[in-house]
Structure 1
């Protein structure tokens, strides 16, 4: 059962528009007990989450309802957030709040005139509780529109300790060691990696970690802004490195065809489900939530992770991502929507999902004790400690047509590359063609 009271330390006292204190000097705070200022008001919140993520976010909505009397409802958009939200706005049925999973989509929404800037209360909370990088990613042309509630540490490789122990391998320290360890795991009877090729976004994450480590942060930033073309030699080099993994049937569960028929939850199941097919799965910290909630794994005992290792002579990458809450101008309940964002900006709101698992908060004033296990706690501390040195997911910074649309742009090109990784230069040219159209548009 969810704890109703969570001890928060290091907080700045913030009096919410909701009429409740967000946090204070180590005092106990409750997810309920507000003044019911929004009693009976409905609130529609749209986002990509399904499954365990949607279930755990519902706990946050329930806590907000208990505090304020509001009646929040979550609507899942699927991966094509911009298309679904745009259609709802055109149809006169806009949600009040959208949890936006890509920086590029947030910028698109702002450029379209769809968003309301955050209230003064929310902005003060952001300044007090978040590193400046999160405010920068939530801003467009100097105006703050997005509140980053959920973050991701996308430089983690999750593994079954039993699988690695049975193969007699240690957690690797370099990319080459990781592939070597994977082949040893394969020799012991399991495939090395489960790859979620059916979901194109997972393939962009593979590329970004390799590229950041090989090419370095300056080129990463330039490529993310499309100031560097995708035909650059550094891109071809990273694709070549990724292709070595994709074409090795010994390393991927089910081979390329099997990977292309595996979605993200399925990739976690192949490692941590009742009938394991692979020893490792690369993805963000949110793997832990699926392993725990859907397959009953104990994080730190029979599900653990190691940092995505450095490639060649590069340094270990730290790639992040996140979901930003925004308020739509065309929503029917602007006061309830902004009050919800003010709530999300507090450590109290973050603590609700932190306890449930499968969640990291960029809120630096959330007490790490709110996380339910040592592995997640360590991951969260690492992300917060990285501060402004974190590099945000590259595809999430791109226009949605390139970096955030199912069956199109980078997602589709990298799926085609997984299917046939024989020509990295051709793939780089395809990526540049798609990027040029999207950025121009």
Structure 2
């Protein structure tokens, strides 16, 4: 999601303490239609979010009919300072009824401090029926379920030209080694670097490189190691994490493979992340690693995205053929009130009815299995939904969003920049690890 990604990179996790996340789902009954009865509501429910502009307007549109039918006014309040303000408001007794929270770490912190109310049974029933255990786990803190996912994004797409692949006689790779082989073939046939990359993003420069590393940790070391890594049970200096860096480096640190149309390896740090859309759209760059939101940038650059169009994409392949593991992002709905109206709105937002309503309006996707992929407004969003709904897909939230802000939005980003600039990997990993809080 384009706008959601901008929120993430501009406003990193404001609260560093994320201890207490439980990464284990629990089972429940069938999906429920009505929320449990709490205190009687007053006919209005406030929703606080960092979502703004057009996306906020589409949110309001998505629930307008339900709101009118149920006689509950949903009041949306947007703030660019959401991550910094939500805990302050909760502490000061000025919390909203509901909040759309973009980071599991922040969500877990609010729940562990008893600001959030446990989710009503209707919400848990919906999540048990329409969401995977991976997603439910991120809304579970200390064995208590607090909130359902809302929207989602899929990372780790590799963008390419189907026509050029046919011209070069290469196919979409099914393994990481095949991806390296395809890269080598394109380089040999064209005599130019196949990959383009841009890591520049103001104060958040480096974040696209963290996505690369997260993809390789998940694929090479597996989900259990990934879970231990994001909580520092396995440090950055562990050989398994170094292996991921080394694998990414086979592409990003290879001057024969990057940086198409832009310069040498070091140019990666100075190229704005959205600027790579132009060479991808016009075919002068063969391969690029980026999340599903790149679709909008490519369209803005004059390209068409689709299986038979100018540009299409495949998920970064696994180490061994078979199975699917993806990283991504999303938001969770947390409740600071348990009155009846708030519970009804929270239940509606966890339902396939809301997911279909919002996705049909364009620009976003959801991992809700009750969502019809055909409601998505672009081929890449439809493909993303199918990936998320596949029961064989292993999903893990963006690693840097799960880490404390001093690491995920601090030393990790800075370490990537230093690494691209030529600092030895061992030195970079030690530097990143130093960002972890001592307690």
Structure 2 SS opposite 1:193:
coil
Q: Deviations over 1:86-114 (max 9, x none)?
A: 35556776454333333222212222333
Q: Measure, in 2, the Cα distance between the counterparts of 1:229 and 1:260.
A: 25
State which of 172, 183, 192 in structure 1 corresponds to 2:187.
183
- The verdict on how the C-alpha distance between 1:112 and 1:409 changes in structure 2, with shifts beyond 3 A counting, is farther
Give the corresponding residue for 1:326: 333
TM-fit CA distance, 1:310: 3.2
Q: What residue number does 1:119 align with?
A: 120
Q: In the superposition, relative to structure 1, how do residues 428 and 381 fare at CA in structure 2: closer, same or farther (>3 Å)?
A: same
Give 1:360 shift: 3.2
Q: 1:76 to 1:366 in 2, by over 3 A?
A: same
| Aligned partner (choices 70, 73, 78) of residue 75 of structure 1 | 78
Matches for 1:98-247 after TM superposition, within 5 Å: 98-162=99-163, 164=165, 169-173=170-174, 174-180=178-184, 183=187, 187=191, 192-198=195-201, 199=204, 200-247=206-253
* Correspondent of 1:15 among 33, 48, 51: 33
Q: Distance in 2 between matches of 1:76 and 1:296?
A: 33
Q: What is the CA deviation profile of residues 65-96 of structure 1, one whole-angstrom value per residue up to 9, with x for unaligned ones?
A: 45555243352537xx6334335556776454
Unaligned runs of 5+ in 2: 1-29
Check conservation: 1:109, 1:115, Cα contact below 8 A.
yes
The whole-number CA distance in structure 1 between the counterparts of 2:259 and 2:57 is 30
User: Is residue 309 of structure 1 aligned with residue 310 of structure 2?
Assistant: no
Pair 1:368-2:373 in alignment = yes
Counterpart for residue 6 of structure 1: none
1:56 shift after superposition: 4.9
CA RMSD of aligned residues (A): 3.7
Shift of 1:184: 5.5
- Superposed CA deviations along residues 386-431 of structure 1, whole A, max 9, x for unmatched, are 357433333333233322x3xx13223223323x244111111112
- Structure 1 residue 167 displacement after superposition: 5.5
Q: Hey, what does 2:435 align to over in structure 1?
A: 434
Change (3 A) 1:139 1:216: closer
Q: For this pair of structures, how many residues does the alignment match?
A: 396
Q: d(CA) in 2 for partners of 1:186 and 1:98?
A: 51
- 8 Å CA contact retained: 1:157, 1:307: yes
Unpaired segments of 5 or more residues in structure 1? 1-11, 20-36
Give the drift of 1:432: 1.8
Q: 1:195/1:353 Cα in 2 relative to 1: closer, same or farther (>3 Å)? A: farther
Q: Distance in 2 between matches of 1:288 and 1:14?
A: 35
Secondary structure, counterpart of 2:390 in structure 1: helix
